[in-house]
Amino acid sequence: MENLVLVRHGQSVWNMENRFTGWTDVDLTEQGKEEARWAGRQLLAEKFEFDIAFTSVLKRAIRTLWIILDEMDLMYLPYEIAWQLNERHYGALQGLNKAEMTLKYGKEQVHLWRRSYDVPPPPLDWDDPRHPRFDPRYKHVDPKLLPACESLKMTLERVLPYWHEKIAPRLQAGQRVLIVAHGNSLRALVKYLDNISDQDIPELNIPTGIPLAYSLDKDLKVISRRYLADEETVRAAAEAVAKQAEAKQQ
């Protein structure tokens, strides 16, 4: 039986509006809540059990976790929330429409911002009211660690220490772990778990609301991984994520 399950939050309001979201704290849409319910029912039907869960400090992920736990009758499960599992910070792109940015900056540039390993989006200005240093949920975080934008590499550099310090020890102790996070914080973790190269990572898109189950050995090496949905469903959902930035016909 798999001992680690990753779930990207259900569709959010800005996913629906096709806006770059990053650290903006938008909620789930009704479709997103239904995706979360579906994920919970799938995990229950396949008799998954968990000892602990982890999520970010953003409500779209937290609410997805709550809904999954409710569907599994596991509302008592302990869980930890961590800014280190937040979505990649999309900097000054946050709030802007992905397709409109493709029209403005071109397909290649937007693809680099969304899917490259080490090209960050344009940063927020230091005094931009959206800068995390003004957000009370990060008041206990060293301001030097709070980003004005993040590449996937920068995201991995804050996800991985949290994985090693807080999550890996649970797995090595034999606990079964559920992580509900975001498209790019999970791309970072999957890059590490699956040993995906910097050159290949742009091809990876993670769909919302479909559990990705891993079996890890005692050294946390991947024995197996699978989505809890048929191959065509996963392919189509991942392709839809990739196409979000396609310029709409004017």
Ligand X SMILES: O=C(O)[C@H](O)COP(=O)(O)O
Tell me the closest approach of the beta carbon of residue 22 to ligand X, in angstroms. 5
Out of 3, 21, 102, 185, name the contact with ligand X by CB under 6 A: 21
Q: Does 191 bind ligand X (CB under 6 A)?
A: no
Q: Does 64 bind ligand X (CB under 6 A)?
A: no
Q: Does 114 bind ligand X (CB under 6 A)?
A: yes
209 is in an annotated binding site: no
The question of whether 100 is a catalytic residue gets the answer: no
Tell me the closest approach of the beta carbon of residue 16 to ligand X, in angstroms. 11
Nearest C-alpha neighbor of 204 from the set 164, 242, 175: 242
Q: Count Cβ atoms below 10 Å from residue 72 Cβ, excluding itself.
A: 20
Q: Does 83 bind ligand X (CB under 6 A)?
A: no
88 is in an annotated binding site: yes
Query: Residues 151 to 180: which contact ligand X by CB under 6 A?
Result: none
Catalytic residue among 2, 9, 35, 131: 9
115 is in an annotated binding site: yes
Tell me the closest approach of the beta carbon of residue 61 to ligand X, in angstroms. 10
C-alpha 58/C-alpha 98 separation (Å) is 21
14 is in an annotated binding site: yes
Catalytic residue among 2, 35, 71, 87: 87
The question of whether 30 is a catalytic residue gets the answer: no
Single-letter amino acid, residue 145:
L
Contact 216, 223 (CB under 8 A): yes
C-alpha 25/C-alpha 80 separation (Å) is 18
Tell me the closest approach of the beta carbon of residue 87 to ligand X, in angstroms. 5
Q: Does 182 bind ligand X (CB under 6 A)?
A: yes
C-alpha 232/C-alpha 43 separation (Å) is 19
Out of 4, 6, 22, 40, name the contact with ligand X by CB under 6 A: 22
C-alpha 190/C-alpha 180 separation (Å) is 13
- Bind-site residues for substrate: 8-15, 21-22, 60, 87-90, 98, 114-115, 183-184
**Where do contacts with ligand X occur on this chain (CB under 6 A)?**
20-22, 87, 90, 98, 114, 182-184, 241, 244
Active-site amino acid positions = 9, 87
